[in-house]
Structure 1
Amino acid sequence: MLPDFSNTPKPAPIFKLAAAIIFENENFLAINKPAGLLSIPDRMQSEVSLKDMLINKYGSIFTVHRLDKDTSGIILFAKNETAHKFLSQAFEERRVEKFYQGIVHGSPAEKKGTIDAPISEHLVQKGLMVIHRNGKPSVTDYEVIEDYKSYSLLQFQLHTGRTHQIRVHCKNIGHPLACDELYGDGKPILLSSLKKKYKLSKHDEEERPMLNRLALHSYCLKFTDAEGNAFNLTAELPKDMRALLQQLKKNS
């Protein structure tokens, strides 16, 4: 049974687990996690996590890696200890190719490049990461896929797995991720800011944001399992990010 979260102030998003399963076999499953859902329980057990849902369905499940709560996209969970050990080791030894897509502010001058900047935790602000010469080595490749001047869609490949790595590196090159409360301005994106002749609908008292969460999506994982089978698993961009890109295309 799922834990009792009756007192939780922020319920998990409406989510159909079966529809979100990208791939499943006897050893592991890949899920397209929505933004706003915890990957695993937090210390406070404040709300239902994806892992709670999986335990409720499968009885036993093993964490391989994590995604931030507001990051959407593909995440793996193991179904047994053997698969857990193998996949966790594959992530640790960087034998898993990890690709993300994100919408950033502005238009990077270099359309393709590598950000090689060490990351460490802020000395005073717990949970905030910074670029620091004494930090852990952190390497991110990026490529601009769509450029709308005010915003751009980038694809990232992570070569290391530091906390908030893409977010910190985007800030470092002067193009923070859209709606990033920690490393950007955190402001929601409104259609009125993109569309010159925007008019509020008669039915709405105030404008609803097009995007009001971190614009980052775990897009693709490439790896080989213990039996030597190669996997190339992808998760389509979610509706909110696709809708924003469509409006940027129309109004650029």
Structure 2
Amino acid sequence: MEKILLKVDEDNINKRLDLFISEKLEGKSRSYVQGLIEDEKVVVNEKIKKSNYKLKLEDVINIEVPQPRELEIEAEDIPLDIVYEDSDVIIVNKDKDMVVHPAPGNYNGTLVNALLYHCKDLSGINGVARPGIVHRIDKDTSGILVIAKNDNAHNRLAEQFKDHSITRTYYALVEGVIKTDSGIIDAPIGRHPVERIKMAVVKNGKHAVTHYEVIERFKGYTLVKCNLETGRTHQIRVHMSHIGHPLLGDEVYGFKKQKFKLQGQALHAKDLGFIHPTKGEYVEFSSQLPQYFEKLLDNLRNISKI
């Protein structure tokens, strides 16, 4: 058990307790801090306070941080759709419904569990729970991911993601008919001010730019190709919802009810391009739309083609 003592200065008066602590504890998320507060591991002036407590000057905060539980991630014989592999990288076409790496509630059946069975050499930069994972896509998003097999490859790929020099193309089926053939959504993204598990377009969010192009129009729906200039959490889902065209099946940023009864958003990471970490040349990989997505498009073409 690690014990931490914090004292509130003038710069943090009226700040929420959970926000203040998450800013001070490096590597700990706000939700993690809220869990500590709920478990009464945080006391302010020797009293238990709630997460939304507004700090006062010279408040004394005592925190007990439990030792992290050692994770034992098991290798599992789960089929993988491997698009390409060499001594530095593995390119995988991830299935819809597969979580990328273990986390509370999902310690098995993840892409990492499958990768550990397939390959013993993965970069260790992100620790035991996320070996080789340079970037992620949501559980319900299918498509192309690059995995690093060594630390050098990981660092070189991570730098390209940081510089936004990676080519990333997604196909999304959205609600409504988009009238313009293409457009650019330049709107900052950050945590939703009220629903903290969601992202949103907010004034003080991080710079985020999405380019979209209409591929096909249907009655009530549009198939679009989206290119990411930046890579914010849920960027396409947030941006398309922001312009009034949420992704079909997206119950977080779109409509709760939809006639196709999809489990999760209709979004596929189709193309991924980058400078190979050791060869130094540009490479690009593509994947086909998953069967459910193609079937959905065929149904729309048969019943509601414009």
Q: Same fold (TM over 0.5)?
A: yes
User: Contact conserved, 1:189 with 1:212, CA < 8 A, in 2?
Assistant: no
Q: Structure 2-normalised TM-score?
A: 0.69
Paired with 1:114 and 1:92, the residues of 2 have a C-alpha distance of 21
Q: Which amino acid letter does the alignment assign opposite residue 33 of structure 1?
A: K
Percent of aligned positions with the same letter in both sequences?
A: 38
* Aligned ranges 1:2-17 → 2 under 5 Å: 3=74, 16-17=79-80
Q: Structure 1-normalised TM-score?
A: 0.83
What's the counterpart of residue 86 of structure 2?
Answer: 25
Paired with 2:78 and 2:298, the residues of 1 have a C-alpha distance of 24
Q: Which amino acid letter does the alignment assign opposite residue 224 of structure 1?
A: I
What's the counterpart of residue 238 of structure 1?
Answer: 290
Residues 180-234 of structure 1, C-alpha deviation per residue, up to 9 Å, x if partnerless? 01001133543xxxxxxxxxxxxxxxxxx4x332100101011111322221100
Find the partner of 1:49 among 110, 114, 119: 110
Is the aligned partner of 1:218 residue 2:279? no
Secondary structure of the equivalent of 1:244? helix
TM superposition shift of 1:56: 2.1
Secondary structure of the equivalent of 2:203? coil
TM superposition shift of 1:15: 5.7
Paired with 1:124 and 1:151, the residues of 2 have a C-alpha distance of 29
Secondary structure of the equivalent of 1:182? coil
What's the counterpart of residue 36 of structure 1?
Answer: 97
Residues 145-181 of structure 1, C-alpha deviation per residue, up to 9 Å, x if partnerless? 0100311110000011111100010111101000001
Structure 1 residues 189 and 24: alpha-carbon distance in aligned structure 2, compared to 1, 3 A threshold: farther
Paired with 1:92 and 1:43, the residues of 2 have a C-alpha distance of 27
Paired with 2:153 and 2:92, the residues of 1 have a C-alpha distance of 16
User: Contact conserved, 2:84 with 2:91, CA < 8 A, in 1?
Assistant: yes
Structure 1 residues 46 and 89: alpha-carbon distance in aligned structure 2, compared to 1, 3 A threshold: same
Q: Which amino acid letter does the alignment assign opposite residue 170 of structure 1?
A: M
Paired with 1:113 and 1:23, the residues of 2 have a C-alpha distance of 32
What's the counterpart of residue 100 of structure 1?
Answer: 170
Q: Which moves more between the two structures, 120-129 or 232-241?
A: 120-129
Structure 1: 5+ residue runs without aligned partners? 6-13, 191-208
User: Contact conserved, 2:75 with 2:115, CA < 8 A, in 1?
Assistant: no
Structure 1 runs (4+) deviating above 4 angstroms are none
Secondary structure of the equivalent of 2:136? coil
What's the counterpart of residue 33 of structure 2?
Answer: none
User: Contact conserved, 1:178 with 1:186, CA < 8 A, in 2?
Assistant: no
Residues 107-156 of structure 1, C-alpha deviation per residue, up to 9 Å, x if partnerless? 11222000001111013322201111111111000001010031111000
Residues 2-57 of structure 1, C-alpha deviation per residue, up to 9 Å, x if partnerless? 6399xxxxxxxx9621xx10111110011110111001111344432101110122
TM superposition shift of 1:235: 1.0
Paired with 1:58 and 1:46, the residues of 2 have a C-alpha distance of 18
Paired with 2:194 and 2:243, the residues of 1 have a C-alpha distance of 23
Paired with 1:121 and 1:160, the residues of 2 have a C-alpha distance of 16
What's the counterpart of residue 176 of structure 1?
Answer: 246
Secondary structure of the equivalent of 1:75? strand
Q: Which amino acid letter does the alignment assign opposite residue 57 of structure 1?
A: H
Q: Which has the larger radius of gyration?
A: 2
Paired with 2:84 and 2:258, the residues of 1 have a C-alpha distance of 33
Higher relative contact order structure (alpha carbons within 8 Å, sequence separation ≥ 6): 1
User: Contact conserved, 1:23 with 1:30, CA < 8 A, in 2?
Assistant: yes
Structure 1 residues 60 and 186: alpha-carbon distance in aligned structure 2, compared to 1, 3 A threshold: farther
Q: Which amino acid letter does the alignment assign opposite residue 294 of structure 2?
A: R
What's the counterpart of residue 154 of structure 1?
Answer: 224
Q: How many equivalent residue pairs?
A: 223
